[in-house]
Amino acid sequence: MIKLSPKLSQKLSYLILFLATILAVIPVALIVFIIVKNGVSALTWEFLTSMPKDGMRGGGILPAILGTLSIVMSAIFLTLPIGVCAAIYLNEYAKDNLLTRIIKLAIVNLAGVPSVVYGLLGLGIFVMFLKLGVSIIAGALTLSIMELPVVITTARGALNSVPYSFREASLSLGVSRWQTIRYIVLPNALPGILTGAILSIARISGETAPILFTAAAFYIPYLPHSIFDQVMTLPYHLYIISTQIPNMPKNVIFATALVLLMIVLTMSVLAIIARIYFRKYRKW
């Protein structure tokens, strides 16, 4: 083997690392490009605001958009308060004992459980055992259980990043523990918690597996009336029209993917911008 001079080998390695990085970034750009290019022609106001027609081959995707919105909003409404409270408990009150450590370990590991397993649980517990049926509420509960560990983890991170001296200063003035949390810790942790919440919304908007057997309907010709109705959802609709329906016009599939992608990416970009913005104005 030829021995390269250190300088040359450094240059070569840097080049290889750079190429690897490009290789990892290209697919993202490619996916977005392909979807926008092929989907934008079918993306009209009518497509967004009308019901599907001709066995979903024509018409719009309004029920799917509304279905996703209703499930995601219910899920975040359920999971955010409990998750933040649990995070406050773990970060501010819990003593560092065996129980706390087990809880923390459980939360870390639960965040890694596959989403389809949560789907199974949702089916077994909410749909069958609690007899909620395949419905918005069953899907929302499933998604909220799935997202709970993530919400707790990000909220804990945000609380943890508030310097300890802030709390000490407040406590030394005789302020009670809860008041310290309420007026000192929470306001400073709020940006982090909110960013995490936005990312959670983005993540569960695109989830398909957990709602596959808990909420999603193949095709429903009307809009949902209550939280006990089945709904069409965007990700499931995309799955159905891209795999189960023969002779589906390609541009309609792409347009559906584009709508889903826009919802998710807008939210993610919003979170990234918020993070950069808040970092600039942080008080420490």
Partner 1 sequence: MKKIINTIIETIIFICGILSIVFVVLIFGFLFKEGFAFFKDYNVIKFIMGQFWYPDSNPALFGILPIVIGSILVTFGACLIVVPIGIMDALYISEIAPKGIRDVLKSSVELMAAIPSVVIGFVGMVTLVPFVKNLFDIPTGLTAFSGSITLAFMAMPTIVTISEDAIRSVPWQYKEGALALGATKWQTIRRIVLKTARPGIIAAVMLGIGRVVGETMAVMMITGNSAHIPNSIFEPVRTMTATIAAEMGETVRGDMHYKALFAIGLVLFVITFIVNFIADLFLGKNKNK
Question: Which residues ranging from 96 to 135 are in contact with partner 1 (CB under 8 A)?
Answer: 103, 105-117, 119-121, 123-125, 128-129
What percent of the residues of the chain are helix, what percent strand, and what percent coil, each to the nearest 5? Answer: 75, 0, 25
Per-residue binding letters, 151-180, with partner 1 (x by CB under 8 A) = -x-----------------------xxxx-
Q: Give the nearest distance from C-beta 237 to partner 1 in angstroms.
A: 9
- What is the C-alpha separation between 207 and 142, in angstroms, rounded? 11
Q: What number of other Cβ atoms are within 10 A of residue 59's Cβ?
A: 15
| Contact positions with partner 1 (CB under 8 A) in 242-271 | 242-243, 250, 253, 257, 260-261, 264-265, 267-269
| CA atoms within 13 A of residue 45's CA, in its CB half-sphere | 0
| Contact positions with partner 1 (CB under 8 A) in 23-62 | 23-25, 27-29, 31, 34-35
Residues 6+ positions from 259 with CB-CB distance below 8 Å: 43, 48, 61, 65, 234
Read off the tokens for 116: 């389809």
Q: Give the nearest distance from C-beta 84 to partner 1 in angstroms.
A: 8
Per-residue binding letters, 191-230, with partner 1 (x by CB under 8 A) = --------x--xx-xxxxx--xx-----------------
Contact between 238 and partner 1 per CB under 8 A:
yes
The type of residue at 44 is: T
Nearest to 47 by CA among 220, 274, 260, 209: 260
Q: Give the nearest distance from C-beta 67 to partner 1 in angstroms.
A: 15
Nearest to 191 by CA among 272, 114, 127, 130: 272
Among 169, 190, 272, 282, binds partner 1 (CB under 8 A): 272
Choice between 166 and 239, CB closer to partner 1: 239
Choice between 49 and 176, CB closer to partner 1: 176
